[in-house]
Homo-oligomer: A and B are copies of this chain.
Amino acid sequence: MNAELRIIPLGGLGEIGKNMMLIETPSDALIVDAGLMFPENDMLGIDYIIPDYRSVLDRKDHVRGIIVTHGHEDHTGAIRHVAEAFDAPIFATPLTRGLLEVKLGRAGLAGRAHLQTVKAGGEISLGPFRIEFFHVCHSIPDGVGLGITTPAGLIVHSGDFKFDHTPVDGWPTDYAKLAEFSGRGVLALLSDSTNADQAGWTPSERVVDGAFEEVFRAAPGRILIGTFASLISRIQQAANAAYRHNRKMALVGTSMVENARMAQKLGYLDIPDGLMVSIEEALRLPSAKVVLMTTGTQGEPSSILGRLASGRNRQFELEQDDTVIFSSHPIPGNEELVHRTINRLFQRGAHVIYDPIAPVHVSGHASAEEMKLLIHLVRPKHVIPIHGELRHLKQHGAIARDLGIPAENVAVVENGTQIEFADGRMTLADRVPGNYVFVDGTGVGDIGPSVMRERELLARDGFVSVQLRVRASNGALTEKPEIISKGFVYVRESGELLAGAEQTIREAVARGGSGELGTRVENALSEYFYSETKRRPMVFVSVSAI
């Protein structure tokens, strides 16, 4: 490595950000964040996707620390994999650390990871790096950005941020620190791009209070509020509204209960005494006295809202006068499931409130004008858009150029691209190899394109599997072929089609000809099924000769 400093955003094909970054000198390295990505709709059967850090494992011993900027899944979800692979201490603010503990505990790594607490406003030194943590507003408390003094200069990393002037916890983004960085001279700003295609300024969390207030005033029965388990400030807002309207509140769902307990213990949730009740108590109270807060706003069929929508929740059912608030936006790709869940809740007689019906959710990410303010506050020499899909990075890059950052000082890059600094200048080197690393069950990275392609074919038209028994001497069938079919046709009503298939098999066997018998029958059957149904099931023929 010739450069003084190298930054590599790690991930798959680089279209969609899984948030993990390596920042390294020739002898030392830092990792920032260890996020997961949720599978897209056509990544069949995949549980989640982690960053591809295999290409940097050779510098494993250089890694002085893993810094986690905040407690969301897309920044923490791969921590068990990253912690095991790099075996370095993990630094996080108290709430983020608490949430990491919950997560590592579930993975059975509670004792083995070395967690260390840092605070917004504080700093640490790791090898040649001095890292200053500064508070940023986001949709989870205790998020930080980083000022990283490196041998090549000062790097500012925004974390996930917005400039909320009236955040729920009363703790605005640390403008003074940003301005101070600016005074020292900033080599590069790495800044959150998630909402780069949204004009203007993201509304304050405060607007949700107003929306809750209106809903609470009108709700005749129970109020169910769905949100993300990590959206601690939303739990606070719901609790405040419940308190004002003289309702009790219960949290439903393990992850939300665990997160809230951790947040309350650490002082990030301020719940009036007696407000919180158990779900059992809540169900005994009059409907108009109850708020239930739960997860499942992404339409997951197995979540509580998903089960309520389909009438399969055991502990309690939806009631006619229930009001359900979706205090979240669909994660891209989940829109259909979310809308289906909303439709089904309506179908069961609930009032459902969601954005845009009322502003019951706001984004936690800066919009275009906030991105501009950050650039002007920090006055960086170079801008590197991070976090978001490539289209967001591109748009953020355009914003930076609009503000006068020279085009050659703006690096809009895909994951894996090596961004190098020497003598105050930035150059882009090759991409390190990398791809999606699928996690499916206990398998990490063992599922690649060929298995995905098979799942796709099976999903589309199913398969037909045939067992043939033939006499070795003359190749004649010794018994009726056995045909198994799944996902292709409704077998009970396909007698004729399957009789035709048997006929096709018999003819292909009798016809003889060159080539292997199994392949010959497979081809004949594939053709037959396509001509009859215009579907293309996978066809397998196994021959045993006796």
Contact = CB atoms under 8 A, between A and B. Distances in A.
Contacts of A241: none
Contacts of A2: none
B463 A486 contact: yes
B487 A451 contact: yes
Contact of A346 (B344, B391, B488): B391
A494 B333 CA distance: 32
A343 interface: yes
Contacts of A484: 465, 540, 542
Contacts of A335: 332-333, 335
When all copies of this chain in the complex are counted, the total is 2
Nearest to A542: B467
Nearest to A469: B544
A432 interface: no
B391 A443 contact: no
Interface in A336-366: 336-337, 339-340, 342-344, 346-347, 352, 354, 356-357
B446 A489 contact: yes
Contact of A357 (B197, B487, B540): B197
Contacts of A45: 459-462, 487, 535
B443 A489 contact: yes
B336 A40 contact: yes
A514 interface: no
A123 interface: no
Contacts of A340: 15, 40
Given A197-B356, A484-B542, A390 B462 contact: no
A108 interface: no
18 contacts: A15-B347, A41-B41, A42-B337, A44-B487, A197-B356, A198-B356, A333-B336, A335-B335, A352-B394, A440-B461, A442-B533, A458-B458, A458-B462, A458-B463, A463-B463, A463-B486, A467-B467, A486-B538
Interface of A: 14-16, 40-42, 44-45, 197-199, 332-333, 335-337, 339-340, 342-344, 346-347, 352, 354, 356-357, 389-391, 394-395, 414, 440-443, 446-448, 450-451, 454-463, 465, 467, 469, 482, 484, 486-490, 493-494, 532-535, 538, 540, 542, 544, 546
Given A40-B340, A467-B542, 10 more contacts: A44-B459, A45-B460, A45-B535, A346-B391, A347-B414, A352-B391, A443-B489, A454-B487, A455-B487, A457-B487
